[in-house]
Structures are given as structure tokens and as C-alpha cells.
Amino acid sequence: MSIKLNSIISLVSSTPAKDAEGFSVPGETVVARIRAYKEDRHGSVAWKNRAAFSTATALFRFRKIPGVVVDTSLYIVCGGERYRIVSVEDVSGRGLYLEILAEAVMPNGKSDHPNA
């Protein structure tokens, strides 16, 4: 399988951190910064078949990272935009590539989906 990994993405974990006084404040940790294939939602047959994930607005594919568990608790940052991971799937079941369906998150924290 040949995938053009033409976008640079960051996998980000939302983990609380402590400030100077010891209080818990929202924080983020970059888990990995990698190259990935990105496809935005459009009217193709492939996206029509993904109707079960109607909130997904983008698809990402990248090589599996040894020692890093990618799940729905992480976020993806790509090109200044933030995406919430909706689903994670192993492409072709061989453990080489992951396919992520993600939903764009607006700066106010709400999703980009009109029904949300």
C-alpha cells in the first residue's frame, strides 16, 4: 500500500497540569508529531459509505507509532485546525497504518457539524 504522507500533524493529549501554586489547570501534551495523509469530507462514494460516522469531517492515515496508543481521548492538530478523533482503525489489519476519522473542533470548543 502506498500512501502519500503530505501533511504534518500533531497528536495531542489533554492532560491537566499544575501551576506554580499547585492548582490543576488544563494542559496539553504533544504525544507525537508525524507525517500523515489528510482527506477532507466531500461527496465521494467513499464518504457516502461512511454515513455511520456522520460527524466526521476529515480522514487521516499515518504509520503506526510503536509504543503510542492512539484512541479517541487524543486530538489531532493539523494546519492550525484542531480535530477530535471519532474512530481509530487498523488499515488492512496488518498493523502498519492507522486510519482516523476525526471531527473539526471550532475555537469555541464546539464541533463543526451542523447537528451538534
CATH number of 7-105: 3.90.1150.10, 2.40.10.270, 3.40.50.1820, 1.10.287.3510?
Answer: 2.40.10.270
What residues does 36 pair with on adjacent strands? Answer: 7
Of all residues in the chain, what percent carry a pLDDT higher than 70?
78
From the number of C-beta atoms within 10 Å of its C-beta (0-12, 13-18, 19+), residue 40 rates as exposed
Q: Are 102 and 79 contacting, i.e. CB atoms less than 8 angstroms apart?
A: no
| pTM more than 0.85 | no
45 pLDDT tier (thresholds 50, 70, 90): low
Give the model's pLDDT for residue 35: 94
Quickly tell me which residue has 492538530 as its cell.
77
From the number of C-beta atoms within 10 Å of its C-beta (0-12, 13-18, 19+), residue 57 rates as buried
Give the model's pLDDT for residue 77: 94
Cα separation, 10 vs 48, whole angstroms? 27
Domain ranges of the chain: 7-105
Amino acid at 85: I
Condensed to tens digits (0 to 9), the pLDDT of residues 72-112 reads 999 999 988 999 999 898 887 788 899 999 999 987 655 55
